[in-house]
């Protein structure tokens, strides 16, 4: 019977042994390879756990990826210092994930944006010769059809009202990065709609 109670622990310890051996042999490439293989499943694991713990945010998928990226950075820095642990590596990763999530909440608490009444925003004037708001809506309506309600509101603000991503973020109480991510998805859907017509 193995000294490790589950396959994950056995796999992690095998890869840590490979990394330790490579470090002792001064083989940086083999060490990086072992560490990359060790960390690979922890990306999805961390993203999945983080997604479940940050309900209620505007774009939990993007924020969960940021947390997973934060965890990867923490683990890489730690593994650069040491490759021996008193507890299973998964427990070490779990503790670091908890801290990454706590840091996420601290950052978002300090930088949390507030909802802004649309009347507080500066009026956006039409440029001379540019189509009016009604004309823009008519031109874009077929492309908005494939979007959900939230995406239609964001697309309307960007393409009809010509608001900047920062203004959209303030208007909807979102983070600027969440607006960028959402707009990227919206543009992809709109491009697919163009290719279908």
Same domain, 42 and 96: yes
83 lies in the same domain as 153:
no
Q: Tokens at residue 80, please?
A: 């650069």
Q: Are residues 18 and 99 in the same domain?
A: yes
Measured CA to CA, the distance from residue 173 to residue 185 in angstroms comes to: 19
| Six token digits for residue 190 | 């709109």
- Are 130 and 94 members of one domain? no
Q: Is 127's pLDDT higher than 70?
A: no
Residue where a domain stops, chosen among 64, 88, 111: 111
- By the 8 A CB rule, do 46 and 68 touch? yes
21 domain-assigned:
yes
Residues of the chain above pLDDT 70, percent? 79
Question: Considering the domain boundaries, does residue 153 fall inside one?
Answer: yes
Full domain range(s) for residue 132: 118-196
Residue 130 in any domain: the answer is: yes
Residue ending a domain, among 111, 127, 154, is 111
Q: What does the pLDDT look like over 55-89, one tens digit per residue?
A: 777 778 888 888 899 899 889 988 988 999 888 99
- 3 state SS of 85: coil
Residue 111 has pLDDT above 80, yes or no: no
| Per-residue pLDDT, 178 | 87
Residues in contact with 6: Cβ distance below 8 Å, sequence separation at least 6, in sequence order: none
DSSP at 157 = I
Tell me: do 32 and 102 sit in the same domain. yes
Q: How many residues does the chain have?
A: 197
Rounded-to-integer distance, Cα 89 and Cα 16, Å = 9
CATH code assigned at 134: 1.10.10.10
> Is pLDDT above 50 for 138?
yes
Shared-domain flag, residues 68 and 104: yes
Give whichever of 39-43, 103-107, 149-153 has the largest mean pLDDT.
39-43
Q: Give burial (CB, 10 Å; 0-12/13-18/19+) of 93.
A: buried
Residue 46 confidence class, pLDDT cut points 50, 70, 90 = very high
pLDDT above 70: residue 196: no
Pairwise pLDDT comparison (120 vs 165), residue with the higher score: 165
> Are residues 143 and 107 part of one domain?
no
Residue 16's pLDDT is 95
**Final residue in a domain of this structure, among 111, 140, 172:** 111
Q: Lowest-pLDDT range, 12-16, 17-21, 34-38, 132-136?
A: 132-136
Q: How far apart are the first and last CA of the chain?
A: 62
Task: Say which residues have a Cβ less than 8 Å from residue 38's Cβ, sequence separation at least 6.
Answer: 12, 15, 16, 19, 79, 89
Average confidence (pLDDT) over 122-139: 48
Q: How far apart are CA 176 and CA 182, in angstroms?
A: 10
Answer whether 97's CB lies under 8 Å from 46's CB: yes
Please state whether the predicted TM-score (pTM) of the whole model is above 0.75. Answer: no
Average pLDDT estimate for 154-170:
80
At 44, list the tokens: 């999805």
**Overall average pLDDT of the 164-182 stretch:** 84
Residues 104 and 138 in one domain: no
- Residue 104 scores a pLDDT above 60: yes
Number of domains present in the structure of the chain: 2
Rounded-to-integer distance, Cα 136 and Cα 133, Å: 5
Q: Is pLDDT of 195 > 80?
A: no
């Amino acid at each position: 019977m193995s000294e490790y109670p589950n396959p994950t622990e056995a796999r992690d310890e095998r890869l840590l042994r490979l990394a330790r051996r490579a470090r002792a042999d001064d083989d940086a490439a083999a060490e990086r390879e072992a560490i990359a293989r060790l960390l690979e499943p922890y990306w999805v694991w961390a993203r999945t756990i983080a997604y479940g713990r940050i309900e209620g945010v505007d774009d939990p998928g993007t924020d969960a990826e940021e947390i997973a990226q934060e965890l990867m950075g923490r683990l890489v820095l730690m593994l650069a210092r040491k490759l021996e642990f008193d507890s299973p590596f998964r427990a070490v990763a779990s503790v670091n994930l908890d801290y990454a999530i706590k840091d996420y909440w601290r950052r978002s608490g300090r930088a949390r944006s507030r909802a802004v009444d649309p009347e507080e925003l500066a009026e956006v004037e039409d440029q001379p010769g540019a189509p009016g708001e009604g004309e823009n809506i008519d031109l874009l309506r077929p492309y908005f059809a494939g979007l959900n309600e939230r995406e239609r509101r964001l697309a309307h603000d960007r393409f009809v009202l010509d608001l900047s991503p920062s203004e959209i973020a303030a208007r909807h109480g979102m983070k600027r990065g969440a607006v960028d991510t959402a707009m990227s998805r919206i543009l992809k859907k709109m491009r697919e709609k163009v290719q279908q017509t």
